[in-house]
Amino acid sequence: MAASLSTRVMKGIANLQAVRSTRLATASVYQNGFMRYSSTVPSDSDTHDDFKPTQKVPSGSTDSLKDIVENDVKENPVMIYMKGIPESPQCGFSSLAVRVLQHYNVPISSRNILEDQELKNAVKSFSHWPTFPQIFIKGEFIGGSDIILNMHKEGELEGKLKDVTGSQKSQ
């Protein structure tokens, strides 16, 4: 009796129409009483700017994203594509990579791949590497945080970073 009543109540709640609720989330009640939710990101013109996707790389640029990645890697002695920025990493792997690189007091240039999904995909395509962070030193793809850490432990990273100078740039 209680299970039947609870199922009817849940179905009634699921069928209620709240203001704008159909644009934000929908729910389905299954026979066992559990609900399944699916949500969508509204694309209405009245959606607040804080919740709209951002794009760090200007879309009107004549350079393709591949060209931007190539230029980043070529022009910056130490380039890291990461989640967040060196001053505020957004994942443990990015944080580890930054800490290892900072140990050598080299300028670190970076791009936050969380701000632009197309840039993230362009970097993956450029390096043929699926995960982040991705670190390039003197134009050469090195790998991720695990590889940088291993190179540091083995003493190889110091040689790679020898003679690295320049100005630090985060984008």
Question: Tell me, what CATH number does 88's domain have?
Answer: 3.40.30.10
For residue 163, the model assigns a pLDDT of 87
Residue 135 domain-assigned (yes or no): yes
Residue 73 domain-assigned (yes or no): yes
Residue of 142 and 50 predicted with greater confidence: 142
Total tally of structural domains belonging to the chain: 1
Quick check: 116 and 57 in contact, CB under 8 A? Answer: yes
97: pLDDT strictly greater than 90 = yes
Cα gap 56→61, rounded to integer Å:
11
pTM (2 d.p.)? 0.61
Mean pLDDT of all residues in 155-168 = 80
- Quick one: how many helices (H) and strands (E) in the chain? 7, 8
User: What is the Cβ-side half-sphere exposure of residue 100, based on CA atoms within 13 angstroms?
Assistant: 26
Residues sharing a CB contact under 8 Å with residue 85, sequence separation 6 or more, in sequence order: 110, 112, 170
Handedness of CA 97, 98, 103, 107 (dihedral sign): positive
Cα gap 7→25, rounded to integer Å:
20
Residue 89 domain-assigned (yes or no): yes
Q: What range defines the domain where residue 120 resides?
A: 62-151
For residue 24, the model assigns a pLDDT of 35
Question: Which helix (H) or strand (E) is 35 found in, with range?
Answer: strand 35-39
Structure confidence by residue, pLDDT tens digits, 50-74: 655 555 555 544 359 999 999 999 9
